[in-house]
Amino acid sequence: MNDVVQHIRLRDASDDELMQLSEHLHLSLSLEEMRRIKRYFRERGRDPTDIELQSIAQAWSEHCCYKSSRRILQKFILSTSSEASICVDEDAGVVEFDDEHAYVVAFESHNHPSAIEPYGGAATGIGGVVRDVVCMGAQPIALIDPLFFGPLEYPHENLPKGVKHPRYLFEGVIAGISDYGNRIGIPTCAGMVFFDEGFIGNCIVNVGCVGIMKKSDIIHSIAYPDEVLVLVGGPTGRDGIHGVTFASAKLGAEEEFRSAVQLGDPIRKEPLIHAILEAREFIGGMKDLGGGGLSCAVIEMCAAGKCSADIHLERVTLKEEGMLPWEIWISESQERFLICTARENVAELIEIFENWDIDASVIGETGKTNGNEKIRVFYNERLIYELELAFITNTPIYERKRKTRTIKEKEVEFHAPHSYEEIILSMLKMHNIASKEYVVRRYDFDVRASTVIKPIHGIIGCETHSDAVVLKPLENSFRGIALTADVNPSYTRLNPFWGAASAVDEACRNIVAVGARPHAFADCLNFGSPERDYVMGDFYECCRALGFMSSALGTPFVSGNVSFYNENEATGEPIPPTPSIIGIGICDDVRYCITVDAKMPSNPLYIIGNTKNELGGSAYFRLIGVEGGIVPRTSPRELRKRMDALLDVMREGFVVSCHDISEGGLAVAVCEMISGGDLGAEIDLGALGELRSDIKLFSETNSRWIVEVKRSKEDDFVHEMTRRGVFVRRIGELKRDKSLVIYDGENEVNISINALREAWRNAFGAQ
């Protein structure tokens, strides 16, 4: 036992020695947390073993217990709910889809691993969210990937020491996501890519998964008393050790934590999914082995079921010889699930996994509830770990100091451009606006043959960005799911509250643009160190905004994740506040969905929603080098009124194409619509009032859409929108001549579609 398990001298350790232990053992625990552990073992008259100390560090990590964020989340986000929410307090949210079925959504970050090893870090991020969905009993049907990097053209000589170039990270992350998703046969069909210097020291890789299931098949992450625990999936190795404590600390320039990056195995994952779905009737409870590995899975399942457990680590199938018990216990090796099942089901359960050539091992059993539940771990019949559940699950919760920024926004002076043509073409080349076809085509977004509206859509060879993708998840139903991912860190950097609110507004706009109704949200909240008061101030304001929008719209957050410590010691700066949002919408019939590409010459174009001088954080200001300005506001009441009216006229057949107005403003929205339909357009900005032409073209005011209206239904459309009190103005019409012509008083713009398309489509071509 002394060869494989160490007793850590803790009871008489000084404060300095406690912190040295935390650092040396990669525990990422504070002095007060180490003191709590010391008191616990003093009361028991013994020192901890290394496996016990490592296990506590996993359970108490920021990543696992949300110790800095839980109170704020409970105040603003976890309190949102709806009658459709079936389960929102496990690894994935389960929400009603129809009378018989539910959809399942998980959304996670894999930031630090991707910064160290972009291919493996991103791939195993996908593997993790797929497991989250599968462990609820669902079939995965879609993957989503909001990604954030430094500028691709960033000079190598300006990189901080030890920081990888954004282009290398970008290429590696895209390859990791595409290879994993394509190999398991799940479409990666929604997402976003954003570039900003604030992400040079710490890229952000957020990944989501949506699944579908019968409500009757839901599996909870729970262990029941007097049952058997079975570990299924891949073997356990040294990859992924200290993954959650690594994610709960600042990312240093050195790569000492490379072993914390897990190694994915998508070829094993695909049959593993099939085996689990086939074995559902024999599964009492199940949890995937993600953060904290076997340690956290056993503890969390037993805590949910209020039962003890005895675990025998020598029964765990290993990748390599010589692994120490603590390594086996906390390893985050991929493609593994822990299943709780009745004793009489064990033989049939294991047979199913063996038929799929998947390892399944009985590693322990649960005990009866007695009010003093313990987890005991044995290795070769020796007791090496004994902790009360009440202690290990009584995780630290902090009320961190926070400093809310005083934000005084005002309109700024800037000159009108000398050449609107030059500005529009330059804007279309910006990496945050330009076509992401270079990325999208790496993903198989059509696998499973259920992607009705693709991430790029339009006439073949002329495709443009869709606002949201639409999936038809059930063979015998035309009911659909719409998916989008949104946030603009340029807004949140200037104004965390209105920037986060704008992310929800944009998610709603994108969903409605395809003819679906917003149904639920998921969030991945990416911030710097919670030990910085201004970071916690920004976090608080973003959460407050998300709660404000969710409550006012009646649309709940059903799943989410918090990722702190996203900053680099080499730069000393946190990332911009990045509360990325997944929007999930429901459309009653996918056959009546609306696409973004312009359809018919002579059809009129209308703008829904009034335009304001809101250019703070805009692509236009970024392009011309102007700082400050007013970040776009949003009124959920007005947004909801416009959404309801637009969905009604869509159902009436008045609207044939639609695009939300977001980054780049009206100018970019119109360019993308006509490019996808290979048509021209003539636009008259006079209908938008007295604002200057560049403000009308490039403002990013929220809650706005451009719609192409069926010419024969124009009067009906205007009457209905006016009756509902919604601002609409006719701004032009489509034409066969393939050019964009814009009038506004003395200003006139005339650009060929070919020039627009070349600027928009070739920004990533050099890669």
C-alpha distances (whole Å) from 706 to each of 510, 573, 574, 646 are 12, 38, 36, 11
DSSP code per residue over 122-186: HHHHHHHHHHHHHTTT-EEEEEEEEEEE--TT--GGGSPTTPPPHHHHHHHHHHHHHHHHHHHT-
Sign of CA dihedral 593, 598, 604, 607: positive
C-alpha distances (whole Å) from 53 to each of 46, 248, 291, 301, 504 are 13, 16, 16, 20, 41
Which is catalytic among the residues 26, 101, 110, 242? 110
DSSP code per residue over 393-445: TS--------------------PPPS-HHHHHHHHHHSTTTS--HHHHTTS--
DSSP 202: S
Contact status, residue 67 vs residue 60, Cβ threshold 8 Å: yes
Dist. CA 464–CA 457, nearest whole Å: 5
φ/ψ of 423, rounded to 5, equals -65, -45
Which residue has 């406690």 as its token pair? Answer: 18
DSSP 310: E
Dist. CA 95–CA 701, nearest whole Å: 31
Sign of CA dihedral 537, 209, 191, 597: negative
Q: Is 63 tagged catalytic?
A: yes
Q: Which residues make Cβ contacts (< 8 Å) with residue 23, sequence separation at least 6? A: none
Dist. CA 44–CA 90, nearest whole Å: 33
Dist. CA 595–CA 434, nearest whole Å: 19
DSSP code per residue over 550-612: HHHHT--EEEEEEE---BBTTT--BPPPEEEEEEEEEES-GGG--BSS---TT-EEEEES---
Q: What SS3 state is found at 744? A: strand
Sign of CA dihedral 417, 422, 428, 433: negative
Which is catalytic among the residues 26, 63, 242, 659? 63
Q: Which ranges of 25-69 does DSSP label H, i.e. alpha helix?
A: 31-43, 50-59, 62-65
Q: What SS3 state is found at 38? A: helix
Residue 736 corresponds to which amino acid?
R
Dist. CA 205–CA 147, nearest whole Å: 5
Q: Which residues pair with 378 in a beta bridge?
A: 312, 383
Active site residues: 63, 110
